Each structure stands twice: as C-alpha cells, then as structure tokens.
Structure 1
Amino acid sequence: MTLPMMQENFRWYGPNDTVSLSDIRQAGASGVFSALHQIPYGELWTREDIRERKAIIEAAGLKWTVVESVPLHEDIKTQTGDYKKYIENYKQSLLNLGAEDVKVVIYNFMPVLDWVRTDLTYKLEDGSECLYFNKARFAAFEIYMLKREEAEADYTARQLEDAKTFWEGMNDAERVAFERNVIDVFPGCKMGFTIEDVRRMLAVYEDIDRAKLKEHFKLFLKEIVPAAEEAGVRLAVHPDDPPYPIMGLPRIVSTEEDLADVLAMVDSPVNGLCFCSGSFGPIPENDLPAMVERFGSRINAVHLRSVQRLGNGDFYEANHLEGSTDMYAIMLAIMKEQGRRKATGRMDWELSFRPDHGHTMMDDLKKPVVANPGYTCIGRMRGLAELRGLGMGIMRSVVDADLVCASKRK
C-alpha cells in the first residue's frame, strides 16, 4: 500500500490577517483553512461573499480547501430564541458553499466560549512563547472574576490555594488583561464579551446537562446533514478545547466514546470529524493513533499540534514533534487511512491538514501583539516544515521497504 502525503495548508483569517497569502505560499502550503469572519454568527453566507473570498485566495495561487469555521449561534446549542432561523441559515450556507465548490466545513459545539487558555504568551526556556492552560489560574478566573457559584467544588485544595496566590499577585491592569485572554479569544474576531455577558449565557445552560446538550447536537445534525449531503459538503466537528468541563458546562466531543456517539447520531459519511491532535492530547487516556484507526474513514480535516501535559489537567503547546504527543504514530495512521481510501477508489482520499497553532518566535517576538494568538507565521512555518519532513520520511520508508521486499523476491 502506498502512503500518500496529506495536502499542506495554513489557516488564514482573511484580508486583515497579518500573515498574508503570499507568506503562506512561500511557507510551502498549497491551500488555506479560512472563513468569512466578518459575518456575524448565525447569519447567512451568500454565494457572492463566498465567491469573492475564494477569488482572493485563488488569485494568490492557493486553494480554499477547508472552511474553518461556519460557527454556530449559541441559540442553536441551547435551542432557545431564533435557533430554528439560524439552523435554516446554516443549511443554506452549506448549500451555497457546495455550489461554489468549497467542500469541507469545520464547526464545533462548545458552549459559550470557543477554545480557552489562561496564558497566551507563556515563555519557554528557548525564549519562544506559546499558549498555556493552567487549571489553578482558570480557577482564579471562575472564583474571583466570574464568581460562579460552587466553582470551588471543581478544583483540588492545591489548585484553590494556587488560584488565590495567583489572583492576589495580579494588579488591576493584569486582571483586565487576564479577563480578555480568557473570554474574548474567538477565531478571527473579537466578540467584546463582558463578565456579565458570560454570566447571562451560563444562566441559559442551568438546565442543560451533558445528556441534554447531546440531544440538541443530535437535532442539529439531523437538520444539517441532509443539506450537506445535497451540497456535497463534508462536515468536520472540532473537538472540545480543553477536552474537559469548564465553568460547569458539559463537554461532548472530547473522548473516543464521544466520537462514537457523535458519528452514530446521524450515520452518514458527511457527518465527520476534524481530527485535532492538540485538542484530544491533554487527556492521557486518549490513544490518538488508535482513534485515527477506529474513526479514520470519517475524518474530513486534520489539525496537527502537540501538547506537553504537566499533570492535573495543565498543559502547554509544545513544538510539533515534541511534547506528550506521538506525532509519528498519528501521521502514520492518517497516511495509512489515505492509502486505504485511494486503494478503494474514494474520491475524498486526500486529507487536508494544517499545523495547528505555533510558537511565537524569532522576528515575530518583535512585532505588535498578534490578533490571533497561536497564529504567527514563523512558528507555524516551522511546524509545517517539521510535519512535511516527518510525512516524507514515513512515505519514503514504506516505499524503500517495498523495494527491498521486491528485490528479495527476485
């Protein structure tokens, strides 16, 4: 079996991104994961808007490979307000994307906030900076800033002690910056949420437990999967990040069991996954290569990054070939899946990946604060180069082994 390389991509946040399409092309990528971030959550993506963005990307010699993301309005997750209208807009957006030949759509079902970190500029020994999640610091946010009732019950005595020390060690300006880091890191846009906004959103979830949230997710899938099938669009749900409950909210896309449940909700090839190694990585029990092997046929997009687990749920984002993630085994499993697809004639045999996040390093450290944390150019270019080299090594080792076997047979 041949193990073909995956298609290399970068995330691009649109015309206002400080990393240009020219930069991305020079990094060696052939496509981008991008979205229409200027359109408010829940509103319709028109064919005209999609066509305009696609033309910009293609004029730079690249392809709009994957939509990341068509975001869900909170009303859909809670089944409140205008959720039926937002679902209809979502379905039509999928049809419009398919009509413009953009065929893979990532989304997530994380309540209230998107991905969460407690430090966006955690300094490593080599001087580079990365994203970091520390449970004690998040406890400080919950207890002293959000003032969520019963939050203390979610943390250990040591974490509570460390949270108090962390909180008392910050001045007013540092507390304001910490609040912004936690509640307003949405991909490609700033929501401008306040603590009061977060409290109001949390109140809507008071009667929504894990089972109820899964029920809402299933209803959403039953509505949109037929539209995706009609459009020829493959869906890719992104896992929870971090992959455990925060702010008392349930998480339903964090483990192997969760993935099996999601795929069984609507058993269609278009109901698929975005396999994000960095989002699954903080849970030691998640066997990432085995998850690829089990669910490989339903993977529609790939994010590759590594985390360094520090214990008790703490982690920082490591270099792509370092940390607690066995990137070799993951890439080998994904490339094998591609080989199986190609051998059986699947039209979607080629999977698109991007290096997910990256360290702020070298010249990027001298630039103004990045609008999209984790998405500076040089750190991701390093990640792409490392992953490209690893993939090439895997592919060539299989080819060379086949040649040796063929020679011996002669």
Structure 2
Amino acid sequence: MALEESFRWYGPNDTVSLAYIKQTGATSVITSLHQIPYGEAWPFEAIMERKTMLEEAGLRWAAVESVPVHEDIKTRTGEYQKYIENYQTSLINLGKAGVDVVIYNFMPVLDWVRTELTHKLADGSECLYFDPVQFAAFDIFLLQREGAEQDYSPEQVKAAEQFINGLSATEKKTFERNLIDVFPGTRMGLDIQDVRNMLAKYKDIDRAKLKEHYRLFLEAVVPVAAQAGVRLAVHPDDPPWNIMGLPRIVSCEEDIRDLLGMVDDPANGLCFCTGSYSPRADNNLPEMIRKFGRRINVAHLRSTQRNPDGSFYEANHLEGSVDMYEVVLALLEEMAERKSSGRKDWRLTYRPDHGHTMMDDLNKPPIDNPGYTAIGRLRGLAEIRGLELGILRSLPKLKNLMD
C-alpha cells in the first residue's frame, strides 16, 4: 500500500505484543520510551535498545510518540531552560539513531480528556466519550476551579450538579481519576490538588502568552531537529477547545497557520490527527490536508461522532463525522505530489487511532491505555486499508503510488 501502516505500541509491558502487531500487516510501530520521566534527556543507548527490539521483531520505528514537553517549558517557569536543553539532546540522539519523526503536543496541564472511558454503544462495544456536562461536573464540583461555572450555560451547570450528586463516593473517585491521570503510556499519580497547583501556574497565561511560549520553544528546538535530520510533528489539542479555563492553541486551521509560521522550516510539522480536529464542525479536514499537506509528517486516522449537545464519542473509523474517504484521498494526493517532485520523505505513515473495545477484548482486564485494545484498532486498520486500495485502483492519476 502507499500509506505506511503503523500501530502504536506502549513498550514491553503492552498487552498488544509486537508479534500481534506484526500479524495485523502493519510494517512499523509508533512508540516512545515511556520509562523516562517527563523532561529528562533520552540516552542514545536507550533509544538504540528500543530500536533494536523493534527491528528484531521485523518492524520499523516510524515515529516517536512522544517526547513530552515539560510543563515548565509551557509556563516558562522553574527549570524550563534545562528542560529545553534536555529536549534538544533527545532530538540529537534520536537523529543519530535514525529515528526521524517526533510527535509531541503543547496541551497545558492535562493531555487528552474524556469523561467516560468505557461508554457502551448500541452494538455492545465500548468507546471513549466526552460529555461537556460531565466535564462541567468535574470542573465545578470536584476541581472547584474559581469561576468555572461562568464557562458553562445555566442548563449545563444544573445538569452537572445532578450528575455529580448521582455518583457514589467510589464512582466520584473513579470519575476524577479517569480525567486527571490518563497520560499516554504512564501514570503520573496526580491528585486533584496537584491539578489545582498546576493550574495556578497558568493564572497569568492567556492564549497570546501561551502562543508566545510555544514560539520560543519552537525557535529553540526546530533548528536542532533540522540539523539532526528529525522532523517534528505537533499533535492537535484533544478536545480542540479551551478546558478548565486554559487556552488550547493547536485546535484549528488558524492555529496551524500560526504555528507553522512561527518557524517556517520543514522540520516544524504536523501530526494530522483526524479524531482530535473532528469534534469541531468548523474544521474541514480534507481542505486542511490540502492546505498544509506538505508539512504533515505523520497521520492518526480515526473518527468521532459529534452530537448537538457538544458531546462526542469515538466512532468506527469509516463512520461518524469524518469523511474518511476524502481524508485518505487527500493524503494520497499529497504523497503523489511529493513523489513526483522528488521528495525523499514522500511516503506518509499513519496509524489507526483508538478503537472500540469489542469481541474478546471485552472479557479481558481493563488496559492501562484506554482506546488501544487490539481488535478495535485491527478493524480500523483493515477498513482504512480497503478504502485506500479502492481509491488507488479507481484513480489512474495515483497509479505511481502503486509502484
């Protein structure tokens, strides 16, 4: 196939083994060194150990997901300069090891956010779900953020109070934990006071200030990445709007244009995640690919179903609010353009992102990385593979991608 198929892997303790990934037909893996604490430099030896492990399993390390950006860098407080230097060292060592795509995000305090991790669908499978009323319940009544109620409608505040009052003490604790301690590949052990303390550091940081901090970060790391032969790929905010009073600055077309212009270099690029952009109806995904495709360095393909009340859930990969046909077509057209112009990095890697917990996976113990069970992602991979083959076979202008 033209698109390189990949699978996310959370390391040696992942219940979805490299052997299983190999059986999906994917030829590469997107992974990280999750054992290294946020902010520490990645040693060359540790990178090579992981790369060797993957290659011995017959898989390529297609991209790092991710080298996390320490909170001090985002707030420009504490030891931010040391953490920037560590980040530069990690990029240099990854480049030396031949790992040339690095995914990261610039989301303040929390990473991706969902209010339910096992939302049951009509067919019996389970998915990730975001409900603004449930999040308001967390924000107002558990986190007790000052002024939080002003960010929601009176109807949402009333419904949020009813929701939180309907939970037992144990259910409240589980609900809280699912919101504040779901970081990819790791558990931070955060409690509600930790989140309050982190929020306090953003008291005087508005959208403009956070964008300025982002620009300074890019100015420090993009030249190092370019010199090391590494292409950065920023992951969009998830969900793509402000939460807990915090600005999110990688959420829409305007944000993409701004960040790419901060440091106009091919090493400053995008991880195009259709699932993260899609909860906003104003994000036209195929159009965004056609506008910024030359700066896409890796793709995550999944779909969400937007609901009129502002909630959304993870849909099947070819369903929901994402026109996956047009998305895959736009990616293939971008690759054809790259190949015809002689770009060495013409081939794009994607992974099926998130998946429903379904079939036999429903009977297994809960995993540490919600959304990353095997069967749901395998279904997504198979569906996108078939869609891609149909597009390539039906459009002669893309024939050169089949060679």
TM over 0.5: yes
Q: Deviations for 1:155-195, whole angstroms, at most 9, x for unmatched residues?
A: 11221121111101100110010011000000000000000
Q: One-letter code of the match for 1:128?
A: S
Match of 2:361 in 1: 364
For the residues of structure 1 that align with 2:337 and 2:154, how far apart are their CA atoms? 49
Please give the TM-score of this superposition, normalised by the length of structure 1: 0.96
The one of 2, 6, 29 equivalent to 1:32 is 29
Larger mean CA deviation between 310-319 and 125-134 belongs to 310-319
Check conservation: 2:102, 2:232, Cα contact below 8 A: yes
Secondary structure in 1 aligned to 2:307?
A: strand
Deviation of residue 313 (structure 1)?
A: 2.4
Deviation of residue 5 (structure 1)?
A: 1.8
Match of 2:164 in 1: 167
Closer, same or farther: CA 402–371 of 1 in aligned 2, 3 Å: closer
1:206 aligns with 2:198: no
- Identity over aligned residues, as a percent? 64
Match of 1:408 in 2: none
The one of 109, 112, 115 equivalent to 2:112 is 115
The one of 220, 226, 232 equivalent to 1:235 is 232
For the residues of structure 2 that align with 1:299 and 1:270, how far apart are their CA atoms? 10
For the residues of structure 1 that align with 2:228 and 2:392, how far apart are their CA atoms? 33
Aligned residues: 400
Deviation of residue 370 (structure 1)?
A: 1.1
Deviation of residue 126 (structure 1)?
A: 0.3
Match of 2:40 in 1: 43
For the residues of structure 1 that align with 2:250 and 2:397, how far apart are their CA atoms? 39
Match of 2:9 in 1: 12
Larger mean CA deviation between 306-315 and 171-180 belongs to 306-315
- Structure 1 runs of 4+ aligned residues shifted over 2 Å read 399-403
Secondary structure in 1 aligned to 2:395?
A: helix
Q: One-letter code of the match for 1:216?
A: H
Match of 2:123 in 1: 126
For the residues of structure 1 that align with 2:106 and 2:309, how far apart are their CA atoms? 24
For the residues of structure 1 that align with 2:176 and 2:47, how far apart are their CA atoms? 34
The one of 295, 299, 303 equivalent to 1:298 is 295
Q: One-letter code of the match for 1:285?
A: D
Secondary structure in 1 aligned to 2:256?
A: helix
Match of 1:351 in 2: 348
Q: Matches of residues 171-210 of structure 1 in structure 2 within 5 Å?
A: 171-210=168-207
The one of 95, 99, 104 equivalent to 2:96 is 99
For the residues of structure 1 that align with 2:214 and 2:38, how far apart are their CA atoms? 17
For the residues of structure 1 that align with 2:27 and 2:313, how far apart are their CA atoms? 29
Secondary structure in 1 aligned to 2:385?
A: helix
The one of 377, 381, 391 equivalent to 1:380 is 377
For the residues of structure 2 that align with 1:311 and 1:21, how far apart are their CA atoms? 40
The one of 364, 388, 391 equivalent to 1:391 is 388
For the residues of structure 2 that align with 1:184 and 1:250, how far apart are their CA atoms? 20
For the residues of structure 2 that align with 1:273 and 1:313, how far apart are their CA atoms? 26
For the residues of structure 1 that align with 2:308 and 2:57, how far apart are their CA atoms? 44
Check conservation: 2:74, 2:213, Cα contact below 8 A: yes
For the residues of structure 2 that align with 1:35 and 1:358, how far apart are their CA atoms? 20
Q: Deviations for 1:382-403, whole angstroms, at most 9, x for unmatched residues?
A: 0000000001111111139989
Match of 1:320 in 2: 317
Secondary structure in 2 aligned to 1:370?
A: coil
For the residues of structure 1 that align with 2:291 and 2:372, how far apart are their CA atoms? 30
Secondary structure in 1 aligned to 2:344?
A: coil
For the residues of structure 2 that align with 1:86 and 1:275, how far apart are their CA atoms? 26
Q: Matches of residues 327-346 of structure 1 in structure 2 within 5 Å?
A: 327-346=324-343
For the residues of structure 1 that align with 2:398 and 2:36, how far apart are their CA atoms? 50
Q: One-letter code of the match for 1:373?
A: P
Secondary structure in 1 aligned to 2:350?
A: strand
Match of 1:279 in 2: 276
1:150 aligns with 2:147: yes
Secondary structure in 2 aligned to 1:311?
A: coil
Secondary structure in 2 aligned to 1:49?
A: helix
For the residues of structure 2 that align with 1:402 and 1:343, how far apart are their CA atoms? 12
Q: Matches of residues 74-85 of structure 1 in structure 2 within 5 Å?
A: 74-85=71-82
Q: One-letter code of the match for 2:395?
A: V
For the residues of structure 2 that align with 1:38 and 1:200, how far apart are their CA atoms? 24
Deviation of residue 311 (structure 1)?
A: 2.0
CA RMSD of aligned residues (A): 1.2
For the residues of structure 2 that align with 1:73 and 1:329, how far apart are their CA atoms? 36
Q: One-letter code of the match for 1:133?
A: F
